[in-house]
Amino acid sequence: SAVISQKPSRDICQRGTSLTIQCQVDSQVTMMFWYRQQPGQSLTLIATANQGSEATYESGFVIDKFPISRPNLTFSTLTVSNMSPEDSSIYLCSVATGVSNQPQHFGDGTRLSIL
């Protein structure tokens, strides 16, 4: 199964700043996704990271706020821009092989707190 490294594991940031989260996979994967988990809530999909093209965002999420890069099949970044306290969440990346009998795997997440 894929091993996912996510960095940083946690951070405390000032209002108005931006933070880039990295997701590195130990093997090439077809699909990479970014999720957000707000305090006390379950996970919500932010976007699908597409290799070599613009990410596909879910309703309620926009590229200016959450720019995503995916330069190759093993790496992606999510930037949380112009942060406010409402952005305090856990951000997780996940990967899928595109084979239905294989589970999706998740990174350990980035716990982000905005002061």
Residues that bind other proteins (CB under 8 A): 6, 31, 33, 41-45, 48, 92, 94, 96, 98, 100-109, 111
**Strand ranges (E), the chain:** 4-7, 10-13, 19-25, 31-37, 43-49, 56-57, 68-72, 75-80, 89-96, 105-106, 110-114
- Phi, psi dihedral angles at 87 (to 5 degrees): -85, -5
Do the strands 110-114 and 89-96 form a parallel or antiparallel pair, or are they unpaired?
Answer: antiparallel
Q: 82 or 113, CB closer to other proteins?
A: 113
Q: 74 or 94, CB closer to other proteins?
A: 94
CB of 73 to other proteins, least distance (A): 15
Q: 56 or 72, CB closer to other proteins?
A: 56
- Phi, psi dihedral angles at 51 (to 5 degrees): -70, 125
Q: 14 or 99, CB closer to other proteins?
A: 99
CB of 55 to other proteins, least distance (A): 12
CB of 35 to other proteins, least distance (A): 8
Q: How far apart are CA 110 and CA 107, in angstroms?
A: 9
CB of 6 to other proteins, least distance (A): 8
